[in-house]
Chain A
Amino acid sequence: MAAMTPKERVKKFMKREPVDTMPIFSGMGMVTVQAIDKMGIRFAEVHGSAEYLAKSATLSAEIFGFDSVIVPYDMCTIPEAMGRGCSTYADAEGILYPTVPTKWENLDTADIKPDWVSTYRMPVVEEALTKLVSAGKYAVGGWVLGPFTLGGQVIELDLLLKGIKKEADKVQSFMKKMTSVVIDVAKRYQALGVDYMTIREMGSGTDLLSPRMWKQLIQPYLREIFEAIESPKILHICGGTDLIVEMMNDCGADALSFDQKNNLVETRRKIGNDILLLGNFDPYGTLCQKDASEVPAIIKGCIDAGVDAVWPGCDIWPDVKAENVEAWVKTAREFGKQPSPAVGRI
């Protein structure tokens, strides 16, 4: 039987149908400098062009043998369209991701204009996704920040964090606004034909919030989002997650993704084998810092701990060592021929 195409492999995997081998994909950015350099552009230029986004994602997949492509790379497209601006650091040396320069001063002044979703770079991202979907070879990933993390992009995070205690009603009302933004964007991307959707509620781990607060402030809105969007849908949270794994598993996602701080063995025990588990190597340490000879043990460690696919814990830092990425792909393919806890093999 012929090997699956990258798109087939990811699509079947996300439905928990048997695959030929473990797919190499992610719900976070996977663009590499090797692709950017090959295009002869600077990193700062890639974010504003649908053509550059689609091409850099595709080239990264081609160079390293990824099964998926995912855009955009920065977290500012939605805040920018909500009127908060975007710093692109066009003249900075090296790689700097765009940031949001201005925030709403308080929870009361957060005012989202009706036509925001078709402004600034939102059409650029949608055009890039359309190009990638129509190309057909690779699985196309869409992602949106979760409502709390998105909120932290458009309002001072400390106002939000202190507001939870001091102005709970205002914070809840603000979270409702952010939730409808997340749902709107995720549905638009799904309507374009993306193959899976990751909701990245990155900033809500227990490094910041107590489990009790997570249950009150984060879980209800994530449930609302996962109820509103189509499968396949993934929930990703960075940082401390061991104390909220069960609550994350109760949000309605088809898969959970964690970074390197998560105890995967314990997590698998808690969530069982009926849900996809993704994670959890440190992308900067593994792909940029370590010697390539150290990478296979890290990847094998993730597989042995019970993941269904080895995901980086966050965006890949684009300036990867090529040989380290190759070691990730090779190791996951080799040891991924065996069934994983939630997905069989053909």
Chain B
Amino acid sequence: MVSEERRSEILKNLSEGVVEYEEDRVKEYSNMALDEGVDAYDAIMNGLAAGMEIVGDLYDRQEYFVPEILMCADALYAGLDILKPHMKIDVSSGVKGQVVIGTVQGDVHDIGKNLIKMMFDVAGFTVHDLGRDVPLEKFAEEQLRTDSEIVALSAMMTTTMMGMKKVIAMIKEKNPDVAIMLGGAPVTKDVANLFGADGYAESAGNAVQEAIKMIGQLRKLKEKGVSA
């Protein structure tokens, strides 16, 4: 059993490695965590995700911008790839949901989508990533095939945003209980409401902020011993 002091040191290095976008350091300490008996979920949530929360603060203070966030995300994934296969499958280890995610037809930009995907990955969701420039009917088909609880749609341009409305109608018609999240620069609260969506984030930066807030909430619930 790893000592509390050593556990803290490993988590601190994972967190700092994400913040300083040091992929090698994150890989090194992820392997150490496993070798020395730190729980993989603990390392993900209180090391990697905790680091990403700091990244969110730095973005808020306009010290970090999207290039830095992307590099931090790379560092986070470097650790997640090592730690995730070792997560214990039990009810207390994170969310067990499924999400279909993609960028709508006509839009080939996917930075925001990939940042939101990261949030779902970290939180333990099974992510069905359809990629970008996805034909509208594919979202509804994939939701039905996988019985996912959430469908997350991204559009970076006004000129592609209208496709979202059709997707939402298609999905809600077949399964009104599915939660729909919209993201992208042109998406506003009004647009989300008008299209019948359940949530939205307006930019890659906001997406990561929203993602980080959700992870933060999850971490707090875990600290209180509540299963997500």
**B133 interfacial by beta-carbon distance below 8 Å:** yes
Between A and B, how many residue pairs show CB distances below 8 Å?
Answer: 82
- The SS class assigned to the A binding surface is loop
**Contact residues, A63-96 vs B (CB, 8 A):** 87, 89, 92-96
Decide if B160 touches A89 in the complex (CB within 8 Å): no
Given that A206-B65, A207-B204 are contacting pairs, would A315 and B70 also be in contact in the complex, using a CB cutoff of 8 Å?
no
Given that A161-B67, A161-B70 are contacting pairs, would A101 and B108 also be in contact in the complex, using a CB cutoff of 8 Å?
yes
**B190 interfacial by beta-carbon distance below 8 Å:** yes
Inside 8 A of A270's CB, which chain B residues have their CB?
A: none
Decide if B106 touches A317 in the complex (CB within 8 Å): no
- The SS class assigned to the B binding surface is helix
**Contact residues, B146-160 vs A (CB, 8 A):** 157-160
Inside 8 A of A243's CB, which chain B residues have their CB?
A: 62
Q: Kindly name the residue among A210, A213, A283 whose own CB sees the greatest number of chain B CB atoms within 10 A.
A: A210
Decide if A97 touches B133 in the complex (CB within 8 Å): no
Decide if A284 touches B158 in the complex (CB within 8 Å): yes
Decide if A161 touches B66 in the complex (CB within 8 Å): yes
Q: How far is the CA of A289 from the CA of B189 in the complex (A)?
A: 13
Which A residue sits closest to B109, measured CB to CB? A157
**B68 interfacial by beta-carbon distance below 8 Å:** yes
Decide if A208 touches B204 in the complex (CB within 8 Å): yes
Given that A165-B71, A210-B65, A289-B194 are contacting pairs, would A95 and B162 also be in contact in the complex, using a CB cutoff of 8 Å?
yes
**B163 interfacial by beta-carbon distance below 8 Å:** yes
**A100 interfacial by beta-carbon distance below 8 Å:** yes
**B51 interfacial by beta-carbon distance below 8 Å:** no
Decide if B111 touches A97 in the complex (CB within 8 Å): no
Contact with A along B107-127 (1 / 0, CB 8 A): 111010010000000000000
Q: How far is the CA of A146 from the CA of B161 in the complex (A)?
A: 23
Given that A158-B111, A165-B68, A207-B204 are contacting pairs, would A97 and B159 also be in contact in the complex, using a CB cutoff of 8 Å?
yes
Contact with B along A81-119 (1 / 0, CB 8 A): 000000101001111110111000000000000000000
Inside 8 A of A95's CB, which chain B residues have their CB?
A: 159, 162
- Of the candidates B62, B65, B71, B108, which one forms a contact with A208 in the assembled complex, judged by CB atoms under 8 Å apart? B65
Q: When A and B form their complex, which 6 residue pairs have the shortest distance between CB atoms, in order from nearest?
A: A96-B106, A161-B67, A210-B65, A208-B66, A284-B158, A97-B159
B residues engaging A (CB < 8 A)? 21, 62, 65-68, 70-71, 74, 105-109, 111, 114, 133, 157-163, 166, 185-186, 188, 190-191, 194, 203-205
